[in-house]
């Protein structure tokens, strides 16, 4: 071996280390994922924090990257473990998604080989870190003054926020591993040197009591007049102070004092410890040491797993002692069971079978595809409902408490409505619509998460904390939305089919479809009317007025009013089949406005889920609906040209009032 040049040996070792990504032991990942953390008002598994942070940073919930020539796919938890415990490796992960990479050029960063929408790694951004922070804070101030930002400025602001969030997240365990700072240039050289060899639990085990304010006062003192010893103490204390201030994002430790509402982050824990007498720091030191053990055993899989589990069970039992253990296992079941993803996949499959079925509805394959579509839909429905039940179980609230959950509920209820109406005439139109609506809604729910990458189970604001009203008003109104959307889809199918003269001879089918649309509209009226008035009664109990012309209230009212217009115009004979379907499509426009548009207006009491990017989606939807209405106009024109016919297919006779 002696002949082997040292340089070559080193190179070989590097090659070896680079050869492959070492995955974390499975057990350690499991323990890490299940660590309870109090975040945004709720105790949740650390995995959920990792999941939404990764979604916010890079627009996906798993990370695919190339490490040393090999392709690696990491779950959110594995990514967070890398980010915290292997900063040298993970700082090269391309996780910062930016919609317009030219924003980065405005930071004087030379970039090459990036697409317009692309991802950057922390190392790539590090050279312009300070400039990014400055610009982002300038733009944040500009925004606070309600000045308009350019698109590029907006991008810089978003990127600055992402980098900051990432640093905070990674720094949250730094007190237990001062040698693994992601960016040592944050510290002066003497402090960085000390950090590389410091073990905080040991230091806190012997350091004198010095409250944080005292450290601050000490930092004011003139260093010229200090002795060398004093200066060394100061450096150490400033490091403690640094960790105290930066390690604050993850509040992991349930405090023993039941009066203290907030959990304690590692940074706060360090500050608490130094502020106490040496002898009173046992609680803090024990927990800090647990994290340190984890951090120091990253090279030894079995020790790492054991230490991680020890940390998790300590936090879990601390939380249980406070009766704040949360629904960790339920939440993991929800996310790891992928109920909502599976539901989406089943419904997409069902929808594909529906398309195949329509290629030859009367043929044998067509019948087989129908059965397949129904079964895929049923499996999707079961998966969806299971997911919704788990979500309800996690927080103990009825299934709809925010905008995201309306997607899920409308999906499930539209499928049920579709099957029910399908039973009445078996023309596979209701079935198709009943599969199309959930497919679309579940795809949109995914898009919605990208626009607003936040925990979809946030704590409920005070006014919503009532399961009685959440079940009565919210569910009824949402059922009204769901039935109305189904009617709009069926009406669209009807208009498009008539326009392209599909099965023109089957007038009975068209007539039955018209009847069905009308029936679903009446169904939707019942739910919307009752739900809207119930909402008024709720408002009368919580805000003191039945009706306040608030945008969300008005949206619901418009749905009710428009349904009543359809009903009475039909009774009066002012609209026939085409008119009815056009009005049903318009109902879809109104529902989508009420569902999203009013939230995107940014005014009013009900804007619980404000989304800026929603207008684009609405614009597309309304564009499609406008095309369908134009088709209906064309259809009407065609019919008026061939007027001698004794009445168009599917015409409904004029009826008396009580014949609704």
Give the Cα separation of 562 and 575 in Å (integer). 14
Q: Are 511 and 650 in contact (CB under 8 A)?
A: yes
Taking the alpha carbons of 357, 362, 363, 368 in that order, is the dihedral positive or negative?
Answer: positive
Helix (H) or strand (E) holding 330: helix 328-336
The residues in 577-606 that bind other proteins, with binding defined as CB under 8 A, are 590, 593, 598, 601-604
Q: Are 347 and 355 in contact (CB under 8 A)?
A: no
Give the Cα separation of 272 and 253 in Å (integer). 13
Name the residue with tokens 């009565």: 472
**Closer residue to other proteins in complex, CB, 18/508:** 508
Helix (H) or strand (E) holding 511: helix 507-542
**Closer residue to other proteins in complex, CB, 77/246:** 246
Among 133, 548, 607, 639, binds other proteins (CB under 8 A): 548
Among 554, 577, 596, 625, binds other proteins (CB under 8 A): 554
Angstrom CA distances, 136 to 120, 394, 604, stand at: 17, 37, 29
Nearest distance from C-beta of residue 456 to other proteins, angstroms: 15
Any contact of residue 657 with other proteins (CB under 8 A)? Answer: yes
Among 416, 526, 611, 633, binds other proteins (CB under 8 A): 526
Among 461, 640, 642, 645, binds other proteins (CB under 8 A): 461
**Closer residue to other proteins in complex, CB, 549/637:** 549
Neighbours of 649 (CB within 10 A): 17
Nearest distance from C-beta of residue 410 to other proteins, angstroms: 22
Residue 468 structure tokens:
């009685």
The residues in 261-280 that bind other proteins, with binding defined as CB under 8 A, are 261-263
435 phi and psi, to 5 degrees?
-95, -35
Q: Can you tell me whether residue 134 is helix, strand or coil? A: helix
Nearest distance from C-beta of residue 549 to other proteins, angstroms: 5
Among 5, 279, 396, 549, binds other proteins (CB under 8 A): 549
Nearest distance from C-beta of residue 557 to other proteins, angstroms: 6
Nearest distance from C-beta of residue 369 to other proteins, angstroms: 29
Among 568, 620, 627, 647, binds other proteins (CB under 8 A): 568
CA angle 534, 540, 543 (to 5 degrees): 125
**Closer residue to other proteins in complex, CB, 202/508:** 508
**Closer residue to other proteins in complex, CB, 254/399:** 254
Any contact of residue 300 with other proteins (CB under 8 A)? Answer: no
45 phi and psi, to 5 degrees?
-70, 150
The candidate with the shortest Cα–Cα distance to 82, out of 62, 60, 98, is: 62
Any contact of residue 508 with other proteins (CB under 8 A)? Answer: no
Nearest distance from C-beta of residue 125 to other proteins, angstroms: 19
Among 208, 365, 572, 613, binds other proteins (CB under 8 A): 572
Among 87, 380, 555, 588, binds other proteins (CB under 8 A): 555
Among 10, 19, 196, 537, binds other proteins (CB under 8 A): 537
The region of 47-55, 64-72, 463-471, 508-516 touching other proteins under the rule CB under 8 A is 463-471
Angstrom CA distances, 539 to 120, 469, 473, 534, 593, stand at: 47, 10, 10, 9, 21
The region of 113-121, 305-313, 406-414, 461-469 touching other proteins under the rule CB under 8 A is 461-469
The candidate with the shortest Cα–Cα distance to 287, out of 185, 173, 372, 388, is: 173
Q: Are 270 and 249 in contact (CB under 8 A)?
A: no
Residues that bind other proteins (CB under 8 A): 38-42, 145, 216, 219-220, 238, 245, 251, 261-263, 458-463, 465-466, 469, 526, 529-530, 533-534, 536-538, 540-551, 554-555, 557-558, 561-562, 564-565, 568-569, 571-574, 590, 593, 598, 601-604, 656-658, 660
């Amino acid at each position: 071996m002696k002949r082997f040049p040292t340089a070559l040996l080193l190179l070989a070792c590097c090659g070896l280390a680079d050869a492959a990504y070492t995955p974390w032991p499975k057990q350690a990942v499991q323990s890490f994922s299940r660590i309870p953390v109090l975040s945004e008002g709720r105790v949740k598994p650390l995995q959920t924090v990792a999941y939404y942070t990764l979604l916010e940073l890079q627009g996906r919930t798993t990370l695919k990257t190339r490490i040393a020539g090999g392709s690696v796919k990491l779950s959110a938890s594995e990514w967070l473990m890398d980010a915290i415990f292997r900063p040298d490796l993970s700082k090269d992960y391309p996780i910062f998604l930016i919609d317009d990479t030219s924003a980065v050029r405005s930071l004087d960063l030379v970039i090459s080989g990036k697409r317009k929408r692309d991802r950057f790694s922390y190392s790539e951004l590090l050279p312009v870190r300070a400039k990014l922070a400055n610009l982002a804070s300038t733009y944040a101030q500009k925004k606070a003054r309600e000045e308009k930002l350019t698109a590029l400025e907006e991008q810089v602001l978003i990127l600055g926020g992402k980098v900051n969030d990432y640093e905070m997240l990674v720094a949250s365990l730094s007190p237990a591993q001062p040698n693994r700072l992601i960016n040592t240039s944050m510290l002066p050289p003497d402090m960085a040197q000390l950090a590389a060899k410091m073990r905080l639990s040991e230091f806190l085990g012997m350091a004198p009591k010095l409250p944080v304010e005292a450290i601050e006062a000490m930092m004011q003192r003139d260093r010229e007049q200090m002795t060398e010893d004093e200066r060394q103490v100061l450096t150490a204390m400033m490091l403690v102070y640094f960790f105290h201030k930066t390690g604050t994002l993850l509040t992991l430790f349930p405090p023993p004092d039941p009066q203290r509402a907030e959990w304690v982050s590692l940074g706060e824990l360090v500050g608490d410890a130094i502020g106490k007498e040496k002898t009173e720091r046992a609680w803090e030191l024990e927990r800090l040491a647990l994290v340190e053990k984890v951090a120091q055993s990253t090279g030894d899989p079995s020790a790492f797993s054991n230490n991680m589990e020890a940390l998790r069970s300590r936090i879990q039992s601390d939380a249980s002692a406070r009766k704040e253990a949360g629904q960790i296992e339920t939440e993991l079941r929800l996310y790891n069971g992928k109920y909502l993803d599976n539901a989406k996949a089943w419904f997409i499959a069902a929808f594909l079978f529906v398309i195949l079925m329509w290629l030859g509805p009367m043929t044998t394959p067509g019948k087989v595809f129908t059965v397949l579509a129904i079964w895929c839909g049923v499996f999707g429905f079961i998966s969806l409902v299971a997911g919704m039940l788990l979500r309800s179980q996690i927080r103990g609230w009825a299934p709809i408490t925010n905008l995201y959950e309306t997607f899920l509920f409308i999906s499930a209820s539209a499928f049920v409505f579709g099957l029910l109406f399908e039973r009445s005439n078996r023309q596979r139109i209701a079935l198709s619509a009943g599969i199309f609506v959930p497919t679309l809604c579940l795809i949109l729910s995914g898009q919605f998460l990208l626009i607003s990458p936040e925990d979809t189970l946030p704590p409920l604001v005070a006014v919503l904390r009532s399961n009685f009203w959440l079940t009565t008003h919210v569910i009824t109104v949402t059922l009204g939305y769901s039935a109305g959307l189904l009617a709009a889809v069926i009406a669209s199918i009807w208009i498009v089919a008539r326009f392209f003269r599909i099965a023109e001879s089957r007038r009975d089918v068209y007539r039955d479809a018209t009847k069905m649309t009308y029936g679903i509209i009446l169904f939707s009226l019942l739910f919307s009317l009752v739900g809207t008035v119930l909402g008024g009664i709720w408002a009368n109990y919580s805000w003191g007025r039945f009706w306040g012309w608030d945008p969300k209230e008005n949206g619901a009212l418009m749905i009710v009013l428009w349904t009543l217009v359809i009903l009475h115009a039909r009774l009066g004979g002012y609209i026939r089949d085409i008119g009815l379907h056009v009005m049903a499509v318009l109902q879809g426009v109104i529902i989508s406005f009420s569902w999203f548009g009013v939230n995107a207006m940014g005014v009013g009491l009900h804007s619980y889920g404000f989304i800026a990017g929603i207008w684009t989606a609405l614009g597309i939807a309304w564009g499609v609906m406008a095309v369908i209405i134009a088709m209906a106009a064309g259809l009407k024109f065609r019919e008026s040209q061939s007027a001698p016919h004794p009445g168009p297919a599917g015409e409904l006779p004029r009826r008396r009032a009580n014949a609704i």
